Amino acid sequence: MTATGLLDEIDGVGRDRGRGGYSRHAFDAAEGELRTWFAERAQRLGLAVETDRNANIWAWWGTPGPDAVVTGSHLDSVPGGGAFDGPLGVVSALDAVEIMQCKGFRPVKPFAVVVFAEEEGGRFGVPCLGSRLLTGAIDADRARSLKDPDGVTLAEAAAKAGHDPERFGADPESLARIGQFIELHVEQGRGLIDLGSPVAVGSTIIAHGRWRFAFSGQGNHAGATLIGDRHDPMLPAAEVVAAARRLARATGDGRATIGRLVPNPGGTNAIASTVELWLDARIPGDDRTRTLVAELSGLAKEAADAEGCLVEIAEESYSDTVTFDPALRDRLSGWLGGVPELPTGAGHDAGILAAHVPTGMLYVRNPTGISHAPEEFAEDEDVDLGAKGLAKVLEHLST
């Protein structure tokens, strides 16, 4: 089945009626349904499906590794996300296998399609969790104790979904099987619109990370508490929201976002006792992101002091600049007739794997230029071109 047909098959899974778009999160019902769907689809192509220690799914064409050509992406989404971020790479991988099989091609090298778990960090906060665990980039105890917004730990959710969280952690055997990794992904900005090209090869991912700011003050009555008597944590939180924009703008090319802010108890007629917010900051260059966060943290402490509040700040994840393997990039671009190279501000499992194995990315044009929102899109013709291009590069790599 074509990539577009496969996307149609999962169109109804995990729709979010409240937010719009899709909410498919690690170990929830929608993600479980997608895991089953993927396994069935891969088995129909004759692939042997297994789940590794970290809940990543592998579908092997022939005997597993070493030096395998591996392609794939993820099936989880951000809250209220689009249909393409993640699934496009998975369905294109399945389509590419079918294209190669229909030609009578058989890979000389071991070959696998992989689905990484919790790429967005949409439930447990840390992005690329499956690939971070596999490569040892996150401590297994820390990962197991990550909590979702309802206080459920990763270990509890994984166990409920039938995985063994005690086995989570660095998996050198699985890593050693990967010779090269190629991830196809919908483009998440305007890059390919501006370049006038349906497909590009990834060049770099900018440094990025997530920080939690937890403000605490005194919960109180909205009508009975005079302004001068308040210790309202929403005030320093608001200062952080405004200052993040100011500081990012001043860098020229930085991005800083507060997309999640949680007041507790969250009553219209109550001063909050605590406010938590999460900063997502990304600036090209290795030190600049943390420099911005240090400056913002100073402002957060001053604003908290001024309101008689406290603030705790914690780094939840950080990734340095990724430069994809230049030789592999040249080969990918050449095989695809000289398609352009494109840097990105979006993180990917490919970025985590790039520290360990030669890794490349292909992007497919997104005519809305919008991502992490329901308006994310790709035209059928571009999806088709992407899958065919992926088949071409995988055939070259696995010969």
Tell me whether residue 79 or residue 179 sits nearer to Mn ion (CB atom).
79
Which secondary structure element, helix H or strand E, spans residue 74, and what is its range? strand 68-74
**Inter-residue contact 163 to 50 (CB < 8 Å):** no
Q: Least CB distance from residue 77 to ligand GLV, whole Å? A: 10
Binding to Mn ion by residue 179, rule CB under 5 A? no
Distances, alpha carbon 243 to alpha carbons 238, 246, 397, in Å: 9, 5, 47
Binding to Mn ion by residue 28, rule CB under 5 A? no
Q: Least CB distance from residue 372 to Mn ion, whole Å? A: 6
Binder of residue 86, out of Mn ion, ligand GLV, none (CB less than 5 to 8 A by kind): Mn ion
Per-residue contact string for residues 40-79; x = within reach of Mn ion by CB under 5 A = ----------------------------------------
Number of residues that bind Mn ion (CB under 5 A): 2
Question: How far apart, in whole angstroms, are the C-alpha atoms of residue 393 and residue 340?
Answer: 15
Question: Longest C-alpha distance within the chain, in Å?
Answer: 78
Binding to Mn ion by residue 85, rule CB under 5 A? yes
What residues contact 115, with CB distance under 8 A and at least 6 apart? 35, 38, 56, 57, 72, 73, 74, 75, 90
Binding to Mn ion by residue 360, rule CB under 5 A? no
Binding to Mn ion by residue 86, rule CB under 5 A? yes
Report the residue count for the chain.
399
Residue whose pair of structure tokens reads 């790709």 in the numeric block: 378
Question: How far apart, in whole angstroms, are the C-alpha atoms of residue 387 and residue 389?
Answer: 5
- Point out which residues bind ligand GLV (CB under 6 A): 120, 127, 346-347
Q: Least CB distance from residue 88 to ligand GLV, whole Å? A: 12
Q: Least CB distance from residue 119 to Mn ion, whole Å? A: 5
**Inter-residue contact 79 to 19 (CB < 8 Å):** yes
Question: How far apart, in whole angstroms, are the C-alpha atoms of residue 208 and residue 280?
Answer: 7
> What is the identity of the amino acid at 274?
T
Binder of residue 347, out of Mn ion, ligand GLV, none (CB less than 5 to 8 A by kind): ligand GLV
Binder of residue 284, out of ligand GLV, Mn ion, none (CB less than 5 to 8 A by kind): none
Tell me whether residue 179 or residue 209 sits nearer to ligand GLV (CB atom).
209
Binding to Mn ion by residue 187, rule CB under 5 A? no
- Contacts with Mn ion by CB under 5 A lie at 85-86
